[in-house]
Amino acid sequence: MTQTKGTLYKGREGMWSWVGHRITGVGIFFFLLVHVLDTSLVRVSPEAYDAVIGAYKNPIMIVGEIGLVGAIVFHAFNGLRIILVDFWSQGTRYHRQMLWTVMGLWVITMIGFTVRHLMLFFEGWGGF
């Protein structure tokens, strides 16, 4: 009798993608609360909005933005993978391959975004 090591789920791709989806989801949710509040400052005054948005335009926040976009892109691609697992007849058979596809697309998307975002930031940045 052949026995697989461990279990099909625990400690494997299925579990880790679920953990990643939860953590990125919670992070994005709290950012969203703050983001609606800072955008709402356009209703207070142009100066208030520009002052708070100005705080996003420094290198520390740029790193944070890249992290945020990284979380969003993973949550988006892995979410599409979950939809395929649920609705595509071959979804459960290929869920692992689809996770590696998600990770590959994530790396490509993040390289593109990070390069473009940093270039635009340093072009218009006046220093501290």
Contact residues: other proteins, CB under 8 A: 1, 22, 25-26, 28-29, 32-33, 36-37, 39-40, 42-43, 45-47, 49-50, 53, 56-57, 62, 65, 69, 72, 76, 79-80, 82-83, 86-87, 113, 116-117, 120-121, 123-125
CB of 120 to other proteins, least distance (A): 3
Per-residue HEC secondary structure of the chain comes to: CCCCCCCCCCCCHHHHHHHHHHHHHHHHHHHHHHHHHHHHHHHCCHHHHHHHHHCCCCHHHHHHHHHHHHHHHHHHHHHHHHHHHHHCCCCCCCHHHHHHHHHHHHHHHHHHHHHHHHHHHHHHCCCC
Cα dist. 64→2, 27, 70, 118 in Å?
A: 48, 12, 10, 12
CB of 34 to other proteins, least distance (A): 10
Closer residue to other proteins in complex, CB, 13/68: 68
Closer residue to other proteins in complex, CB, 13/58: 58
Closer residue to other proteins in complex, CB, 44/96: 44
CB of 43 to other proteins, least distance (A): 5
Closer residue to other proteins in complex, CB, 104/112: 112
CB of 74 to other proteins, least distance (A): 12
